[in-house]
Structure 1
């Protein structure tokens, strides 16, 4: 069970009204004894799905049913502790919400938790819950997992029912989750993912461009994790080079922006919501994406997908730093550096553009701050990827390092 946090639940991104009125499980099951929280983009029956914005709250009616992912967890015996804070419309990777504040990053105080699943990551890292649902479009599970020193999974696109979840860019949106241990990450996957036989993954393909682009110290911090992969019997292929990740990130930006505007453009123009300036600017920019830009971006995405499929073949795993750097300082994203955002997208866009599962493992520290190792497997190999992650977690004692363990 999760340990009690030292501070109030609100500091960890938990809505206090929900924290005082948790939902008991529907029955006993494989998740009995575990508690969880759900990002505020998931429908909870009888409550308005706030999606991180007061005008979204004002212009939407209460949900009539729980999102299927939430319902499935309750049926499996987990206890719902509440809902957690998100960036507005889940359209940010920072985790700072202009209206409702910024959840604590328990493993890097004074720094952002990452977004958009900020509260979910904070609640798990702070010990409020055993696991938490998030969504991942551009990296909104993977980046907070890296920044907060957690295990986090973005599944194969479409593997988990996303009904009852506020969309951002449906062609890229996925339902993911965080856990403080590899064992819990696997237990949740056994409930949410489609059933299937575990097939071993046998080859590791490092993404040279991503390691080269990462901040000084990140590659060195993750080197011991690579050695542990080798110790598990996985063969290392020659590092993949020339993937043109900057171009892929730009293609992702164009395709995602077009999707976001199709999804939310009418609401944005009609409502004129109060939003953080950088998120409003991102929405306005999305309205300017042209069909020609989309066509060019799709060609770039198709070329990347073909190359990645070739690298993975039937038993490969891509390996890269989940994020190019440690968590930024609080307030650093108030006037976001577009170049910094594109560097992050260069690390997260592969799984997004290719619809692939990616797990982030908390296996490195840089100057006392956590960094994650990202592993990407082929489409539908989610359970295989979680089994590999579980083996890695067992090798390091299964639990994310404690506050004092900065080795």
Structure 2
């Protein structure tokens, strides 16, 4: 049986389960009102691609602090007391219990003064990078309606980009926060793996699942990260590196925007930026190791549930889970070993520096490109996945700042920092934003 036990945990609850028994909204079954919070509402048809349920607020803050007055779009993979986890899948929602506790990542935001605006749509079970959901629709890319929004933090990113929330909370396993941030022109941050507990997060790959956020401005991002990760003494990051071979994995507008940004960086008062060779020959193997570990663990988590419902998944998730179902224990163990080797190599390369590189290999693919199972999309996402794998394999904190191509299409520039230096890294991202070449 898929691991459902984590959904019955007792965390920082907004209300006891007994108070919620029997309460429901007739227009949105299984969505009870929360004591002290607003009444949940069903999104309009136009909003259903972005939100599963909203409130005014859906959940009130539990404390006061730096996030007072800010609202959070919680990707519908995190537990919120009194709500179900919908996970972008009507089949999952139909059998999901009402949560008795609230995920730690959500609770930390509530404790700092934020409120939850609603639960935002995601790719099926969080397993996808396009943002396409065949059940509820594809959240809009506010920067360009013709482009995909990126997933799996697709709904939360769309809510932030459309000014319906201040903060988007998501899970980044192999790029699911970084990709939509880049595609939609947002600031993004993925914490050092383990810095924010994944308690209350519906798991995809327990080995790689990591918490992250998207915002429309750097001030909110810095407050969000500060409220969420452990406090550490500030130590300014003073040196940065970039690798021409890595950068060249990007193409077209993404490469040109990165090249322009790096040139501006070198003439700014930002940390000294030097070129340092990176052996890109290993990247295809690292990317394959990431996808193997994610696939094997995703099937372990959800294979029993999916055994009778695979045909009901959206196309991208269906193909991914079908591949995952064929991943052997032997392949998984080899991939785990590769990840350990890769993590050591990345950390040795980085040292106390910040690595600056393109977030994605291209701008967002066009919706009109069609088949997500086609070779063009697969090759595009493989190139992007190789760039993302550098931080993923080592569990390093990553900030994404928005750039634009010559034709005003969003792309992202990633800053990958040393493990545990989350607050130092977001402070550097703030400096980068103030340098004049972001966006």
Q: TM-score, normalised by structure 2?
A: 0.84
Output the CA distance in 2 between the equivalents of 1:125 and 1:13. Answer: 14
Change (3 A) 1:272 1:104: closer
RMSD of aligned C-alpha atoms? Answer: 2.1
Aligned to 1:365: 405
Output the CA distance in 1 between the equivalents of 2:204 and 2:274. Answer: 36
Aligned length: 392
Question: 3-state DSSP class of the match of 1:135?
Answer: strand
Which residue of 168, 182, 186 maps to 2:222?
A: 186
Output the CA distance in 1 between the equivalents of 2:49 and 2:199. Answer: 23
Aligned to 1:306: 344
* Off by >3 Å, runs of 4+ in structure 1: 7-14, 19-22, 227-230, 270-273, 331-335
Output the CA distance in 1 between the equivalents of 2:405 and 2:103. Answer: 36
How far did residue 228 of structure 1 move? 4.3
More displaced stretch, 37-46 vs 244-253: 244-253
Change (3 A) 1:393 1:16: same
Tell me whether 1:353 sits opposite 2:357 in the alignment: no
CA distances 1:57-99 after superposition (whole Å, capped 9, x unpaired): 0121111122122122112111211111100011000001010
Do 1:151 and 1:185's aligned partners in 2 also have CA atoms closer than 8 Å?
Answer: yes
More displaced stretch, 11-20 vs 201-210: 11-20
Aligned to 1:404: none
Output the CA distance in 1 between the equivalents of 2:321 and 2:285. Answer: 21
Tell me whether 1:99 sits opposite 2:135 in the alignment: yes
More displaced stretch, 326-335 vs 85-94: 326-335
Do 2:53 and 2:119's aligned partners in 1 also have CA atoms closer than 8 Å?
Answer: no
Change (3 A) 1:333 1:71: farther
Change (3 A) 1:179 1:151: same
More displaced stretch, 222-231 vs 34-43: 222-231
Change (3 A) 1:11 1:223: farther
Change (3 A) 1:182 1:12: farther
Aligned to 1:69: 105
Aligned to 1:209: 245
Output the CA distance in 2 between the equivalents of 1:248 and 1:209. Answer: 16
How far did residue 34 of structure 1 move? 1.3
Aligned to 2:180: 144
How far did residue 14 of structure 1 move? 4.1
1:239-258 to 2 correspondences below 5 Å: 239-244=276-281, 245-258=283-296
Question: 3-state DSSP class of the match of 2:367?
Answer: coil
Question: 3-state DSSP class of the match of 1:213?
Answer: coil
Change (3 A) 1:393 1:295: same
Do 1:228 and 1:392's aligned partners in 2 also have CA atoms closer than 8 Å?
Answer: no
Do 1:243 and 1:304's aligned partners in 2 also have CA atoms closer than 8 Å?
Answer: no
More displaced stretch, 276-285 vs 54-63: 276-285
CA distances 1:154-205 after superposition (whole Å, capped 9, x unpaired): 1111110211111110111011101111111000011101110121212222
Aligned to 1:289: 327
Tell me whether 1:374 sits opposite 2:414 in the alignment: yes
Aligned to 1:3: none
Do 2:256 and 2:405's aligned partners in 1 also have CA atoms closer than 8 Å?
Answer: no
Tell me whether 1:220 sits opposite 2:256 in the alignment: yes
Q: TM-score, normalised by structure 1?
A: 0.90
More displaced stretch, 128-137 vs 274-283: 274-283
How far did residue 44 of structure 1 move? 1.5
Change (3 A) 1:396 1:184: farther
Aligned to 1:4: none
How far did residue 21 of structure 1 move? 5.0
How far did residue 346 of structure 1 move? 0.6
Output the CA distance in 2 between the equivalents of 1:92 and 1:333. Answer: 15
How far did residue 331 of structure 1 move? 4.8
Tell me whether 1:392 sits opposite 2:432 in the alignment: yes
Question: 3-state DSSP class of the match of 2:280?
Answer: coil
Which residue of 58, 61, 66 maps to 2:94?
A: 58
Output the CA distance in 2 between the equivalents of 1:233 and 1:28. Answer: 33
Aligned to 2:126: 90
Question: 3-state DSSP class of the match of 1:162?
Answer: coil
Change (3 A) 1:273 1:165: farther
More displaced stretch, 73-82 vs 284-293: 284-293
Output the CA distance in 2 between the equivalents of 1:160 and 1:207. Answer: 29
Structure 2, unmatched stretches of 5+, are 1-42
Output the CA distance in 2 between the equivalents of 1:22 and 1:299. Answer: 43
Larger Rg: 2
Output the CA distance in 2 between the equivalents of 1:201 and 1:339. Answer: 34
CA distances 1:200-240 after superposition (whole Å, capped 9, x unpaired): 21222213333112112322212343244332342223332
Tell me whether 1:316 sits opposite 2:371 in the alignment: no
